[in-house]
Amino acid sequence: MAQKLWEKSVQVNHEIERFTVGRDREMDLYLAKYDVLGSMAHITMLQSINLLTKDELDILLAELKNIYSEVEQGIFVIEDGVEDVHSQVELLLTRRLGDVGKKIHSGRSRNDQVLLDLKLFTRAELKKVAGLVNDLFTALLTQSDKYKEVLMPGYTHLQIAMPSSFGLWFGAYAESLADDMLFLQAAFKMCNRNPLGSAAGYGSSFPLNRTMTTDLLGFDSMNYNVVYAQMGRGKLERNVAFALATIAGTISKLAYDACLFNSQNFNFVKLPDECTTGSSIMPHKKNPDVFELTRAKCNKLQALPQQIMMIANNLPSGYFRDLQIIKEVFLPAFKELEDCLKMTTYIISEMKVNEHILDDDKYLLIFSVEEVNRLAREGMPFRDAYKKVGLDIEAGKFSHDKIVHHTHEGSIGNLCNAEIAQLMQQLIEGFNFKRVETAENKLLQRL
C-alpha cells in the first residue's frame, strides 16, 4: 500500500480510511490535469528561489507533461491505497525520477493545492458554460428574428392577456441569458485569483514568489491574505453554484413554456420528433421527455447553492475536512448543466412555430387593450375607453382586426435584438479568456 503524504508510523484502520477518503479518488479525477498544471507553475517558482536546480526543474517539467498527457488520454488513474490526486502525482514522479520527485511539495500544503486545483478546474468549466450559454443565446435570437412577425397570446395568471409574439418570447429568454452571463462573469472573476502560497492557510517560511505563480497560471490577481485564501474554500463553490443556478432557472422556465406550448391544447410550437417519446399504450402520444428531464435537472441545480451552504455554513476560519464533501455535489454539476444547455440549444434551433394561432377567435379578447388605446389616441379619456370596450365585450359586440402597432423599445415592433446581442458580446469579452489560454499554453510549452 502506498504511504499517505501525511502518514508517519501508524497506519490507519481500513474502515476509517474508507470513510474518510470517501469518493475523493473519484472526484479528484476531475482535478487531475489541473493538479499537474499547478505543480508545473509551483516548481518553476521553486527553481527561481533556488529550492530546485535548473536540471531538476527540467526533468520534473518533462515528466509532469507526460502525466498531463496521460490525463488527457484518459489513462491516468489514482491507484488503490493512494489517497488523492496530489499523492498520485507525487508518487508517479518519485517512482519515475527518484528523490527529486519528493521536492515538489516544498512551500505548499494539500490545502492550497486543492484550492488551486478547484479554481483551475472551475474557471475552465465556467469558460465551457459561457460558450454554451452563448450558443443558446444565439439560437434564441435567431429564432426571435425569424418569427418576429408571428403573433401569439401573452398570458397573466394563465389567462389570455395581451398580444405577444414569438419574437418577444424567444428574445426574452435571450436577454435573460445575458443577465445570467453577468452573474457567471462575476463568479469567474472571483474564481480567477491565485491561492497558491497560502499553504495550510498561514503562509510559508520559504520566500515564495506568489506573483510569479499568479502570472504563470494566468490569474487576474492573487488571494492576497493567506487566511482568506483558505476561508474562500466553500465560498467559491457556493457563489459559482449561484451563477450556475441562475442559468438553470432560465432554462427550466423555458423548458416549462415549451412543454406547455407543445401540448395539443396550446399547439403553439412543435418540438423535434427525436426529442419526444411515445407511450407504451397510447399510440398518439409524443411526450416532451427531453425538456421534462431538462426542467428536472435544472431544478436540481437550483438547489446546489443551498447544499453547499449547509455543508460550509457553520465552519470557523481555517481548514476542515467537511469541505471535502462539497466536491461530490459541485464537480459533477458543470457537466449536468452543460448537457442541459446543449439539449436546449438543439431543441430551440429545430423548434417549429405555429404561425396561425390567432386565426382562432378564442384569442380575440387579447386585443381589448389595443382597442382601448386606439380610442384614447383618438381623444376619448382612457377610463371612458376602458368602460366602453368592457361593455362591448359583455354585450358580445367586441371586434378587432388582430393587427398591432407597437413601436417602443423592446416591444413587438422593436425587439432591440441588436442591442441585446451587443450586451452579450461585451459580457463575453469581459471574461478575458485569452489571458488564461495564453498562460496555460505557455506553461505547457516550458522547457
Helix (H, G, I), strand (E, B) or coil at 222: strand
Q: Which amino acid is at 376?
A: A
Domain ranges of the chain: 14-106, 111-148+165-206+222-358+416-440, 360-415
The span from the CA of 325 to the CA of 132, in Å, is: 28
Q: Which three cell numbers stand for residue 391?
A: 361593455
Specify whether domain 111-148+165-206+222-358+416-440 bears CATH 3.30.70.600.
Answer: no
Q: Which amino acid is at 194?
A: N
pLDDT of residue 135 exceeding 80: yes
The span from the CA of 101 to the CA of 325, in Å, is: 29
The span from the CA of 148 to the CA of 141, in Å, is: 10
Q: What is the pLDDT of residue 339?
A: 97
pLDDT of residue 18 exceeding 60: yes
From first CA to last CA, the distance across the chain in angstroms is 34
Mean pLDDT of the chain: 93
User: Which CATH architecture does the domain made up of 14-106 adopt?
Assistant: Orthogonal Bundle (1.10)
For 225-280, write each residue's pLDDT tens digit.
999 999 999 999 999 999 999 999 999 999 999 999 999 999 999 998 888 777 66
- Of 33-47, 112-126, 269-283, 347-361, the least confident: 269-283
Helix (H, G, I), strand (E, B) or coil at 165: strand
Using the 8-state DSSP alphabet, how is residue 3 labeled?
P
Count of residues in the chain: 447
For 300-311, write each residue's pLDDT tens digit.
999 999 999 999
Which contacts (CB < 8 Å, 24+ apart) does range 41-45 have?
A: 41/196, 41/213, 41/216, 41/217, 41/443, 42/104, 42/107, 42/108, 42/196, 42/213, 43/103, 43/104, 44/212, 44/213, 44/216, 44/443, 44/446, 45/208, 45/209, 45/212, 45/213, 45/216
Kindly report the pTM of this predicted structure: 0.92
Tell me the mean pLDDT in the region 369-390: 95
Banded pLDDT at 4 (limits 50, 70, 90) = low
Helix (H, G, I), strand (E, B) or coil at 378: coil
Q: What is the pLDDT of residue 27?
A: 85
Q: What is the pLDDT of residue 295?
A: 96
Using the 8-state DSSP alphabet, how is residue 381 labeled?
-
- Give strand pairing partners of 365: none
pLDDT of residue 12 exceeding 80: no
The span from the CA of 329 to the CA of 325, in Å, is: 7
Cα Rg of the chain (Å, integer): 28
The reply to whether 14-106 and 111-148+165-206+222-358+416-440 are identical in fold is: no
For 36-52, write each residue's pLDDT tens digit.
999 999 999 999 999 99
Identify the residue with better confidence: 170 or 12. 170
